[in-house]
Amino acid sequence: MKKTATRLADGRELFYYDSRDDAVRDDVDQRPLERPTTTGEIRRDRLLGDSVAIASHRQARTYHPPPGQCPLCPSRDGRHTEIPAAAYEVVVFENRFPSLTGDQGRCEVVCFTDDHDASFAGLDPDRAALVLAAWTDRTAELAALPGVEQVFCFENRGREIGVTLGHPHGQIYAYPFVTPRTARMLASAAAHRQRGAARNLFDDVVDRERADGRRIVLQSAHWTAFVPYAAHWPYEAHLYPRRRVPDLLALDDDARADFPRVYLELLRRFDRIFDGDSGEAEGPTPYISAWHQAPFRHPHRSEFALHLELFTIRRTAGKLKFLAGSESGMNVFINDVPPEDAAQRLREVASP
């Protein structure tokens, strides 16, 4: 992998990731941009104990631009975009409309391909491996920034999820705090240890799923994907490396090499789970794909297990799972699809 760092016209950082060592990235951003003005702050909820990012400048972010005006496509035919090059493989750059800014964190955009009409599931294994390398590199660099406690790599896909740009892309958030979800997982692991358990909680969860087998979606020599016993979402799969590690930086070479095949197959199954449910074309499955990594300075970070959580808000053809009264008001999820049924369906739609 070759990494080339540059800056956009307004001073934001941009990084090209190329599979070829002889790639030349010397294009200059030609746009007359001024340094972006942001108004973000983080406020603490004293009752719940969590943090909320207030970012009013995001109201002005690009929203479903017309055809030919995508800011994540390469710069071609006289039209200048966020990526100065006329073609690219993988690009990461500072978000122009970040939720977290300055000493309160950082937000980046990850473009998986320069093909506007592609998807992550349609990438070849080499490109998926390059994206994994970019996620890993950005995790390492963002972890070194002052005040950053946790790095979150994720992809939102589909209008139903709330995506405002159709180009295949994800995001990376560098939080100045430990996120509530991660804190709860670490607390559960600590309680498990304090009860005298002989093994790590994450290891126990994965081993029990493997022993049970009913919710296993797919397995390889280095990864296991399963629908969790208490799945929150209609179709949800968790992907764990066989050897527990705290973050992407700690993955060994074998797990990295195996990841593209396993992850691409999992995404392709998600795209097929609703085939045949209705006579009408549903379109690609909307989903959120999220890497969960250990906080960098937590005293028990070694007990955390890196894993990816993939889920869709579609529960059947033409129907979405809305977070209504119980979920939004009390954070108690109600799942209409038994996890065992979801796992069975995800096994049924395996690639030939």
Q: Which residues are catalytic, by number?
A: 169
User: Collapsing DSSP states into helix, strand and coil, what is residue 342?
Assistant: helix
CB 149 within 8 A of CB 186: no
Rounded-to-integer distance, Cα 339 and Cα 329, Å: 23
The CB-based long-range contact list for 247-251 (8 Å cut-off, 24+ gap) reads: 247/139, 247/151, 247/293, 247/294, 247/306, 248/132, 248/135, 248/136, 248/139, 248/153, 248/291, 248/293, 248/306, 249/136, 249/139, 249/140, 250/306, 251/136, 251/306
Cα 323–325–329 angle (5° rounding)?
90
